[in-house]
Structure 1
Amino acid sequence: ETGKPWKNAAAEVGSSADLAVFMESEGSRFYGKTMPSPIPNRSVRTVRAPIGVCAAIMPFNSPLAGIAWKLFPALVCGNAVVAKSHEQTPYTAIAFARLMKDAGLPSGVFNAVQGTGADVGGPLIEDTRVGLVSFTGSVPTGKLIQKTVSDRPVLAKVCLELGGKNPLVVCDDADLTLAAEHAVASAFIDAGQRCAAGSRIVVFDRVYEAFRDAMVKRAAKVKVGSGPDDECGPVISTQSLERLEAAIAGAVARGARVLCGGRRIDALAPGYYLAPTILENVDPCDAVSQQELFGPVTCLYRAKHFDEAIDLSNSTSFGLTGAIHTFNSNRIEEFIARYRAGLVSINGPTYGAGPHMPFGGVKNSGNGFREPGTEALDVYCEWKTVVVNHDPARV
């Protein structure tokens, strides 16, 4: 449905299965606390309780993993789920629902619904029978969901995993070949249509030209298409393709320079293919520097020193992921401490969440919750405190 290359789609299936195995094992670890009480003959403990009905609203870019990240922890916690897939990728959810039914899941526990946000998503989150809304998608939609739920007669928990404008910092002691490989992968896997895409590459002045040449050389070798050996697939729609072309043209009009790509690939028409694009000479305050483009477009920035690299990394309203390439342990620890994000990668790409790892962001990238990992249990459960008076005379 997304057109992503076969190996990327297969990896999504594998990661979804891994998450199922991991979350299944968490069902036997619903740990609570037992606490002393200052009152004699009284005991206090905490237990996890299911929420009830959870609404899961997914984006188009990872239609299988997007459901798995929400469905499996919700089921382990004892909830029913109503899942609305993106209107551009509806069939994956239907196939997923059939698989769950064939696996023996009782009818009505997992419900896949289809439609636009206005027609289906709105009524779903407005329904007071829904006790949790878990949404992955854009910042404007996430804010609208939070406001809509806050205006309901009965509140609900809202879990938001929103966009990213993720930096990859290349220090002057980095392995430039490795950094270029990870920068290209971060920018162009899934055609850049992932919240963890590396769309800002911050490079120390001393190695800027050498790194730029290495990255452009590697980007030129990216295989574009949907075949078994391809790396970068199409964007999701003609509207996305036109939006990206307009963003690139606007940046160029404001002084940016296209190092590679910057155009659609007519030879692959009617698919919505944009050549992997690298821009330089982009103002850090420019729209393409600040807004999530959700496409195979990344920008290079110069940093005179480490503090400037940190400032550039933190210069957007997002805080989802980030990476730094250096072998200096002080720089590594400083980046971990000072870069505001939910995930930090050292000498790797800007992505890399696993089923056992909490994933989410700060600032406009999320509202504090994490999926998956054991932390997902806190999303899909409510904590209940139980106070037991063992002496009936004290009740």
Structure 2
Amino acid sequence: MRISNWINGKECPPQDDCWLDKFNPHSGEILSQVADSTAEDTRRAVSVAEAAFAAWSDLTPVRRGQILMDIVAAMKGRAEELADCIAIETGKPPQDAKGEVGAAILQAEYFAGEGMRLYARSLTSGTPGKYSHTVRQPRGIAGLIVPANTPIANIAWKTFPALICGNTVVLKASEDAPRIALLFAQLAKQAGLPDGVFNVIQGLGQSAGATLVTDERVSVISFTGSTVVGRWIAEVAGRRLARVSLELGGKNPFVVCDDADIEQAVHWAALSAFSNAGQRCAAGSRIIVFKEVYEDFRDKLVAKAQNLKLGVAAGCDLGPVVSKRQQQSILAVIENSNREGGTTLCGGAAPSTAELSNGYYIQPTLVEGLNAHAELSRKEVFGPVATLHVVETLPEALALANATEYGLTAAIHTRNVDRAMWFAQRVRAGVANINLGTYGSEPHMPFGGFGASGNGTREPGVEALDVYSELKNISFLIRPNQI
């Protein structure tokens, strides 16, 4: 199978006829070939989006919302096909792939409905007879760059708010999840989205994605991915004053107090650390436990981790990581943690069973004994790996939770509401959950982080409209002699 770009409502092979191999993460076998797009391919997509902008932005927000709702209906009708594609491309167990499609549909429904609102404000004036109000207007062309960890959810997360605001889109798909982007583009066209409004560029970030960042015609860049790349985007796009929205990495703390419900804490800690094979920016990768309950919690969490089932069949708890490159990087960090004084309590290697040995699997891994400055304590590894840390007081737990350049999500488990709110107010994170996991954003909730986790923007929620629209203030003065 060859997976092409999608430009102006049709599949377009790369200009240089160069292709990349995409491997099945479960088996290691070649799954497809993906367009290895050049800068010229990206510029062509931008030109098409530029030509489509006037007609799309001239539609009323209500009409745009109706078209987007037709896309939602198409997603519902083809939900099983979307889930199958995700499961194969990313190695997710089928129930996880179906859950992701459901989340993407909810996201799409929410922003399609915003066409009937697209809220602005009426304002008062100190001048008699003067009336003012604000309106939202589109930015222009939105360059959307998405990762492979939750591919259809990431596409919906960015595409629907961009389109409802009247922008046209060039989406840089992840080279590790290319087909789902093409499938979504085909589905959107069949649902009635005009040609040129939504375009997909496949390939590598250096050759295809970077052009979106540097092209003067692209007025807003929304990127989800690594902090290193995010810093580069902020610097380069900032020089031309493009609007930039960055949702970057996390090294998220999960705090277990001495009064926590230990069974529930173990349940949520395992989900936070290991679901989606740990490939979440919101993964709970630093587990901070009060000394009084540490051994009990640790032993139960290790037992839970050792009982998790790896694979891609129904009922499996986690699949492989998305690429061989990612697998090898994770294993190298685990190996280094042992040199830095860490003790691997479980996992720490790739499984050796015949069924899984050719895939990009990592056993659920827990490491204790590292200090806050160790590589694994600081570095986002994007895999099913977490560190355990012991503290004696809540202020000590807070200090350790905040001892990171990141600040995306956090969770605390306690029966004490005073402790919970004290921690939630002070932890350096954009999302703070109590007696839950470190993840769980919903379509109407703003998501984003502090520090190296982002640049202060929030997606989704109504806050995403601020990313993809310009506010214009309009004032009108009554002419007294016309009354």
Q: Identify unmatched segments of 5+ residues in structure 2.
A: 1-88
Deviation at 1:188, TM superposition (A): 0.5
SS at match of 1:348: coil
**Residue 354 of structure 1, aligned match among 436, 442, 449:** 442
Deviation at 1:6, TM superposition (A): 1.1
Q: Distance in 2 between matches of 1:69 and 1:341?
A: 20
Q: Is the counterpart of residue 279 in structure 1 residue 381 in structure 2?
A: no
Q: 1:217 maps to which residue?
A: 303
Q: 2:222 maps to which residue?
A: 134
**Residue 45 of structure 1, aligned match among 112, 125, 133:** 133
1:26-84 deviation per Cα after TM superposition (whole angstroms, max 9, x unaligned): 11112222222222332211111111110000011111111100001111111111100
Deviation at 1:389, TM superposition (A): 2.6
Q: How does 1:1-395 map to 2 (within 5 A)?
A: 1-152=89-240, 155-267=241-353, 268-391=356-479
1:124-166 deviation per Cα after TM superposition (whole angstroms, max 9, x unaligned): 11111111000000001001001111223xx210000000000
Q: Distance in 2 between matches of 1:337 and 1:124?
A: 38
Q: Distance in 1 between matches of 2:307 and 2:433?
A: 24
Deviation at 1:390, TM superposition (A): 2.5
Q: How many residues align?
A: 391
% identity of equivalent residues: 49
Q: Distance in 2 between matches of 1:117 and 1:32?
A: 36
Q: Identify unmatched segments of 5+ residues in structure 1.
A: none
SS at match of 2:90: coil
1:155-197 deviation per Cα after TM superposition (whole angstroms, max 9, x unaligned): 2100000000001100000011110111011111111011010
SS at match of 2:300: helix
Q: Over aligned residues, Cα RMSD in angstroms?
A: 1.1
Deviation at 1:392, TM superposition (A): 8.7
Q: Distance in 2 between matches of 1:219 and 1:74?
A: 40
Q: Distance in 2 between matches of 1:192 and 1:119?
A: 28
SS at match of 1:191: helix
SS at match of 1:365: coil
Q: Which amino acid is the alignment partner of residue 360 of structure 2?
A: Y
| Structure 1 residue ranges, 4+ long, deviating more than 6 angstroms after superposition | none
Q: Which amino acid is the alignment partner of residue 233 of structure 1?
A: G
SS at match of 1:135: strand
Q: Which amino acid is the alignment partner of residue 214 of structure 1?
A: K
